Amino acid sequence: MSGYTAGSAFTETPQTMATPFDPSQSVAFDLNRGQIAVKGSGERLLVPADALLSLCLSVGSEELSDFGRRLGTEAGRRVAERLGEIEAATVETIVDHLGGDLALLGLGSLELERWGKALVFVIEDSPFGAQGDPVLAAVLSGALQRAFGRNAGVIRIDRDDQRARFLVTSPGGAERVRAWLSEGTTWGDALTRLDRTRGDS
């Protein structure tokens, strides 16, 4: 992963943006061997999304979460390897690189929102649709776990035809928000109530 190691300038000036994500030559198609590979990772498969989703829905939640976390762990590892000292990486750098890797996986486009102190990932145009949102939540959780070493609880708080919002918070906070949403609280009010709990803790 030459060129994506953490440099001195990046560490000294975290405000400045690191090397942008460069997907050039990231995906290698070996047509002679009939193999597809992503740089820095193992072999990949180009499979229909609906077929994979059907497979995911046929398994239990634990297996589905493990499948997604494996995908996210692989993406987090690549981001961490490219960025080097990922602790000093800015928000835009993380979004750029992590979103690049998710895009290579074909899972959609990544954005990040911050509501108060809460981080909200937004994935747009996911091929899995609303039924594949648990997979995406597991992917994000695994990426954060692998890249930053944080055990984060990721839950979907909003969904429309194209966009899905995932709140990144503590596992306990995720459970609270899930309970509030099940009670009918809007996701905005849930974030507000979650933001008020920071003083209580």
Query: Interface residues with other proteins (CB under 8 A)?
Result: 14-15, 17, 20-29, 86-96, 99-100, 103-104, 109-119, 144, 148, 150, 152, 168-177, 186-189, 191-192, 194-198, 201
The Cα 94–Cα 102 span in angstroms is 12
Counting every residue written for the chain, the total comes to 201
| 3-state SS class at 38 | strand
User: At residue 85, what are phi and psi to the nearest 5 degrees?
Assistant: -80, 90
Residue 140 C-beta: closest distance to other proteins, Å: 11
| Token digits of residue 120 | 């909200």
Residue 46 C-beta: closest distance to other proteins, Å: 11
The Cα 77–Cα 44 span in angstroms is 16
Residue 60 C-beta: closest distance to other proteins, Å: 26
Closer CB to other proteins, 22 or 50, in the complex: 22
The Cα 173–Cα 115 span in angstroms is 14
Pairing of strands 118-124, 27-30: unpaired
Residue 73 C-beta: closest distance to other proteins, Å: 16
